Structure 1
Amino acid sequence: MTDLQSGVTPTYDGLADLLASAPAETWDAPSLCEKWQVRHVVAHITMPARLTPEQFGAEMAAAGGDFTLLSNTVAARDASLPVAEHLAHLRSPLLHGWQPPGGGAAGALIHAVIHSLDVTVVLDRPAVAPVEAVVAVLDQLTAANGAWFGVDLTEVRLEATDTDWSWGSGEVVRADSGRLAALLSGRTLPDGRVLRPG
């Protein structure tokens, strides 16, 4: 995938489609993000559709420059927004065109794909991101040798079971491409698998 930003829209639209047809209790299901339910993940990823740069700056100042604190505060506050608003924000062109400061298109795609996996993996649903977008994320994360999320890829071979993608050498870790991307982002899978922290 040469245009990384092009994978963002179908990922967010796919997540919106999934959640629009899911039972209401799905929004309260736990996600792969520690202490966050599905609704918290959606509130987090849709911040660019709700907050102007000025509002974001004010939130960051209130959090003392701590992005983790800002994320947790905004997710806790905005998780209770109506489902229809969450879905509209997931489909927002503002969100689809957003890039994280300093992260560019790669950062935007990684953000979309990983957080969508935070939802789909725990719901035991297929990834909503296009396969080529997930593979592009795998390529980005392994090119950085795990540094994006601080995982140790020393003597690890990753093999996707749903594509011909593989990387590295050593102890083999096999999973579908989405679960491999989740592992590379430091998540613990529902079956307890996790990559060593770097």
Structure 2
Amino acid sequence: MSDGDAVAAWVGRTYGGLADVLDAEPGTWDAATLCAGWQVRHVVAHVTMPARLSPEQFGAEMAAAGGDFGVLSDTVAARDAALPAAVLLDALRSPVLHAWQPPGGGATGALSHAVVHSLDVTAALGRSPVAPDEAVAAVLDAVTASEGAWFGVDLSGVRLEATDADWSRGSGETVRADRGALVALLAGRTLPDGRALPRR
């Protein structure tokens, strides 16, 4: 299996695992997530856009949002969160979603999108990550290699230590958590226990 194939498989397993969790626990759709102001259904509506919107539909949504992807994301999430759970679950399991890569982001962007947003849900629910361990580790390495620039966190004077692997980066005040929680922190999220990394 090539690296690209491995990443695609990790993406598919991540979205499929999230679908399995939500399918087994239908009462979680309205739960809060690590994405401020978004319930589980909003996060799923957001990540499944590539499986539900054609390129033409996406272009029309972008035009309506004045070219601002943030506005588009909020609009689509708010609207499509009302879709039936079965529709959103099917979209999470869609091969179209599993093969999608963000423009300019490539395989790394696709994997980080899947892993971070899956953690938005599972970490908030107190569940273990659904992404494969290798996928979480790959995203953790990629985000720390950018020195936090991807998500605007400030890693100066911070040492990160994983509690579930022999992994650490940086020096200074120590932040210890499992690798999934570290990814969420590096993505600018606030953990359920209130921990967050400083912003740039």
Contact 1:5 1:106 in 2 (8 A): no
Structure 2 residue corresponding to 1:135, chosen from 131, 134, 137: 137
Partner of residue 7, structure 1? 10
Alpha-carbon separation, structure 2, partners of 1:48 and 1:74: 12
SS of 1:173 mapped into structure 2: strand
Alpha-carbon separation, structure 1, partners of 2:61 and 2:116: 23
Note the alpha carbon deviations across 1:139-172, whole angstroms, 9 max, x for none.
1100100000000011211111112222111111
Say which is worse superposed, 181-190 or 4-13, in terms of deviation: 4-13
What is the CA distance between 1:5 and its match in structure 2? 3.0
Note the alpha carbon deviations across 1:37-88, whole angstroms, 9 max, x for none.
0000000000000001111111000000111110010001100111111110
Structure 1 residue corresponding to 2:153, chosen from 143, 151, 154: 151
Letter in 2 for 1:159: E
Structure-1-length-normalised TM-score: 0.97
Gaps of 5+ in 1: none
Structure-2-length-normalised TM-score: 0.96
Alignment of 1:172 with 2:159, yes or no, is no
Partner of residue 46, structure 1? 48
Say which is worse superposed, 2-11 or 139-148, in terms of deviation: 2-11
Partner of residue 79, structure 1? 81
Contact 1:16 1:91 in 2 (8 A): yes
SS of 1:174 mapped into structure 2: strand
What is the CA distance between 1:196 and its match in structure 2? 0.5
Partner of residue 72, structure 2? 70
Contact 1:29 1:38 in 2 (8 A): yes
Gaps of 5+ in 2: none
Alpha-carbon separation, structure 1, partners of 2:193 and 2:47: 25
Partner of residue 20, structure 1? 23
Alpha-carbon separation, structure 1, partners of 2:62 and 2:3: 33
Contact 1:135 1:165 in 2 (8 A): no
Partner of residue 191, structure 1? 193
Partner of residue 36, structure 2? 34
Alpha-carbon separation, structure 1, partners of 2:186 and 2:58: 28
Structure 1 runs (4+) deviating above 2 angstroms are 1-6
What is the CA distance between 1:6 and its match in structure 2? 2.9
Q: CA RMSD in A?
A: 1.1
Letter in 1 for 2:37: K
Partner of residue 94, structure 1? 96
Alpha-carbon separation, structure 2, partners of 1:161 and 1:155: 19
Alpha-carbon separation, structure 2, partners of 1:147 and 1:5: 24
Partner of residue 126, structure 2? 124
Note the alpha carbon deviations across 1:81-114, whole angstroms, 9 max, x for none.
1111111000000000000010000000000000
